[in-house]
Amino acid sequence: MQRSLLGAIVTGLIGIATAGGLAFVWAASGPLRSPAHPEGEWRLLDAVTYENISIFPVVTGSTQDTSVFLTLDEGLSSGEVVVSERGGDGMVRNRGERPVVVPQGNASASVNQLVLINRSKRPLLLLAGELVSGGKQDRIIGKDRIVPVGAEPLPLDVFCVEHGRWTGSSSQFIASKTIVHPSVREQAAVKQSQTEVWDAVSSGSTAQSVTVETPAAAPRVSRRAVADTIASEAPTQSYSKIYEHSRVGVSVDSFVEELQKRFARATANLKGERVVGVIVAYGGEVAWSDIFASNDLFHHYWSKLLRSYAVEALARPTLRETASTDDAREFLHRPNGREVQETEAGVYRWREVTEGKLALIELDALQPKPITLHRLLLHRTS
């Protein structure tokens, strides 16, 4: 009798967890298997170094076909993806060849939630930290995920990166071709905290590992420079305005240009291998990595990722230490720690593993075959 009652309770809980199509699973409690991870197939090239940043290209001789997936910038630019404030004029989706307006009821606009429709014929890939501009405030995507073809209007979890504005002539959002720098992205992807996101936007970097002792080691984008820009040009703390303003943006643009030249030279003559990701170090600290399932997917994100790494570098002390290749290679290995999973049946599986200061986030596509589309490993700053 007791066993029957226990079985009924467990069955009921599983039904509740999966009723909305999502299940949250702790690694110790379920047999969900991950796609094969190619740690042994990845190889690091020598670091591309400039000022206080070192970027180690990650290459492989075998990449996956990811052409079936649509990126957010592509979808917003083509109109195949629509992102809107909650409670707007309604979202338009296609039913066959006929556009249909889907009313949003009495829902009011929310800082931390938007509504998204994928009208394309490809599943949509979203990465934590991608910026969408417009609406009442600019927002960033809160978590890596996939939005399938034909999905109902999706309540999308987001974080605001424009503290102070809550007005707009349109409820719609456009592609910004921007991903926020690692200090901000960490607060969204790992800490999931709106307050921490705002603090990271206004402070530049949340890294606390180095104490600045001399003026020569001071960040080129200082907290004071960010504060002055907010006060004079971006009083709503608009992320894009802060890091494109002349007080800050000129340094970022020239920094990115030099890094891009060096990276292109370092990866120009590969034979039988393609770049699929990077590991990033600031000074002597290996801090961040983004690795993708294919070279094509990497290049879709590379320009905005590079700018985000540059912003972080300029906001950190300009010490000339250089991280070792051995230290960077450790970022190719999986940490051993507490694992949490989130799954939408037949669509994707999101996974986070934390061990000490390390946090690994992986996004697996489950269709058309299981592959890990994106792998983020970071050394947490807080």
In this structure, what token pair is assigned to residue 311?
Answer: 């912003």
pLDDT at 24: 44
Q: Average of pLDDT values for 240-257?
A: 73
Under 8 Å CB-to-CB from 138, ≥6 apart: which residues? 131, 132, 160, 161, 162, 176, 238, 239, 240
Q: Give the CB-side neighbour count of residue 85, counting CA atoms within 13 A.
A: 22
C-alpha 69/C-alpha 365 separation (Å) is 10
pLDDT at 217: 60
Cite the beta strand spans of 210-368 per DSSP E.
274-282, 285-292, 338-344, 348-355, 358-365
In terms of average pLDDT, the best of 34-43, 103-112, 218-227 is: 34-43
pLDDT at 97: 44
pLDDT at 252: 84
Q: Is the pLDDT of residue 344 over 70?
A: yes
Residues making up the chain, counted from first to last = 382
Domain membership of residue 279 (yes or no) is yes
pTM: predicted TM-score of the whole model, two decimal places: 0.81
C-alpha 193/C-alpha 271 separation (Å) is 43
Q: Average of pLDDT values for 310-324?
A: 82
Residue with the bigger pLDDT between 353 and 249: it is: 353
Q: Is the pLDDT of residue 172 over 60?
A: yes
**Alpha-carbon distances of 323 from 211, 266, 268, 304, rounded to whole Å:** 17, 17, 23, 23
**Confidence label for 251 from pLDDT (cuts 50, 70 and 90):** confident
Domain membership of residue 29 (yes or no) is no
Domain membership of residue 32 (yes or no) is no
Per residue in 57-103, pLDDT (tens digit) is: 999 998 899 999 999 999 999 999 999 987 654 444 444 444 444 44
Residue 13, classed as helix, strand or coil, is helix
- Report which of 317, 269, 261 is spatially closest to residue 48, judged by C-alpha positions: 261
Domain membership of residue 199 (yes or no) is yes
| Contacts of range 348-351, beta carbons closer than 8 Å, 24 or more positions apart | 348/145, 348/146, 349/32, 349/34, 350/143, 350/144, 350/145, 351/34
Burial tier of 368 (Cβ tally within 10 Å: 0-12, 13-18, 19+): exposed
pLDDT at 28: 38
pLDDT at 274: 96
Read off φ and ψ for residue 70, nearest 5 degrees.
Answer: -100, 135
Domain membership of residue 31 (yes or no) is no
β partners of residue 351: 341, 362
Q: Is the pLDDT of residue 362 over 50?
A: yes
How large is the angle between the packed helices 295-315 and 246-266, nearest 10 degrees? 130
- Report which of 25, 23, 43, 27 is spatially closest to residue 336, judged by C-alpha positions: 27
Domain membership of residue 142 (yes or no) is yes
Domain membership of residue 166 (yes or no) is yes
Average pLDDT, the chain: 79
**Confidence label for 31 from pLDDT (cuts 50, 70 and 90):** very low
C-alpha 316/C-alpha 32 separation (Å) is 40
In this structure, what token pair is assigned to residue 77?
Answer: 């630019």
C-beta separation of 153 from 115 below 8 A: yes
- Report which of 104, 101, 84, 85 is spatially closest to residue 93, judged by C-alpha positions: 101
Helix (H) or strand (E) run with residue 184 in it: helix 182-186
Residue with the bigger pLDDT between 256 and 167: it is: 256
In this structure, what token pair is assigned to residue 91?
Answer: 């979202």
Domain membership of residue 16 (yes or no) is no
C-alpha 286/C-alpha 325 separation (Å) is 10
CB count in 10 Å sphere of residue 218:
12
Across 74-78, 161-165, 287-291, least confident range? 161-165
Q: Average of pLDDT values for 220-247?
A: 58
pLDDT at 139: 86
Q: Average of pLDDT values for 99-115?
A: 59
pLDDT at 206: 66
Percent of all residues in the chain with a pLDDT value above 70, rounded to a whole number: 67
Residue with the bigger pLDDT between 5 and 71: it is: 71
Helix (H) or strand (E) run with residue 249 in it: helix 246-266
**Alpha-carbon distances of 372 from 37, 222, 270, 302, rounded to whole Å:** 8, 37, 23, 18
pLDDT at 381: 83
Q: Is the pLDDT of residue 231 over 80?
A: no
Percent of all residues in the chain with a pLDDT value above 90, rounded to a whole number: 47
Helix, strand, coil: what percent of the chain each, to 5?
Answer: 30, 30, 35
Q: Is the pLDDT of residue 111 over 80?
A: no
Count of structural domains within the chain: 1
- Report which of 214, 365, 189 is spatially closest to residue 288, judged by C-alpha positions: 189
C-beta separation of 160 from 187 below 8 A: no
C-beta separation of 288 from 309 below 8 A: yes
- Which range marks the domain in which residue 99 is found? 39-379
In terms of average pLDDT, the best of 87-91, 205-209, 310-314, 369-373 is: 369-373
